[in-house]
Structure 1
Amino acid sequence: MSSVFDVQKTIREVLLKILDNHSLEQLNKIPDGFSNNIIWNIGHCVSSQQLLVYKLSGLPTMVSEEFINKYRKGTKPEGDVSQAEVDEIRILLSTTLEKTKNDFESGLFVDYHEYTTSMGFTLRHIQGALDFNNYHEGLHTGVVMALRKLV
């Protein structure tokens, strides 16, 4: 399973570099033809990982319900995000990854509530959730890479 966490670490490092190399205005800009922005996509990665890995395992999330609801599937930015929230997301990219890895290695994930994603893929256990999460974060990283060329 270490490769799963290595892949997620690489994805998160790419997202951190994008955060570091774009202004608050650029992170918040929604280009024509898009319904969200760079920071929403990055927050969405954190929110979705918490839902797919922790919530569906019956465990408490590391982020608030408010955070999850702001960035969950089907939402869009309701206004500009502050620098403080960007800083929080930057920290969460690292802390949620490390805690998940530690929790997995310690055997914390015992139960999993089966869930069929909007892609039609059914998650039946934590390993599948972690694999799918990397696929999902990879998709959103691709969107972020496209958005950064338009801001």
Structure 2
Amino acid sequence: MPITVDDAYLVPFLPATKPERMIDEPEIATIKELFISSIDRLQADFDEQKFVNYSPSKWVATKYGVDVMNIDEALDFLLYHEGYHCGYILALRHLV
């Protein structure tokens, strides 16, 4: 599936990147909206069975040692991956 989020909100957060600038309140609001609309789009695409021809992800298997062979496994991994980010955020908040 093509990525529907503008590169401006994707590229700065790819693996091996680091913060380059502060994000202001309007941009935070936009990112929050993208989070919600992306979930809604995922649900709509799932309901429309757009993932029937899901291609296994070699990147996930290489990076995390997990085989993601279909959309159900991808959704399970998504929860793990988001939890991973949440754990780091909570650890950083605790540190600060």
Normalised by the length of structure 1, the TM-score is: 0.56
Pick aligned residue for 1:77 from 16, 19, 25? 19
Shift of 1:137: 0.2
Contact 2:56-2:69 within 8 A present in 1 as well: yes
Runs of 4+ aligned residues of structure 1 deviating over 6 Å after TM superposition are: none
Which ranges in structure 2 are unaligned for 5 or more consecutive residues?
A: none
Greater shift, 105-114 or 77-86, is seen at 105-114
How far apart, CA to CA, are the structure 2 residues paired with 1:69 and 1:147? 22
Higher relative contact order (CA 8 A, sep 6+): 1
Letter in structure 1 aligned against 2:56: E
Who is 1:60 aligned against? 2
Q: Between Structure 1 and Structure 2, how many residues are aligned?
A: 93
How far apart, CA to CA, are the structure 2 residues paired with 1:74 and 1:113? 24
Shift of 1:135: 0.3
Q: Deviations over 1:90-114 (max 9, x none)?
A: 1112111111112101212122222
Letter in structure 1 aligned against 2:52: V
Partner of 1:112, secondary structure, is coil
1:130 is the counterpart of 2:75:
yes
Who is 2:46 aligned against? 104
1:88 is the counterpart of 2:30:
yes
Identity %: 33
How far apart, CA to CA, are the structure 1 residues paired with 2:84 and 2:8? 24
1:121 is the counterpart of 2:66:
yes
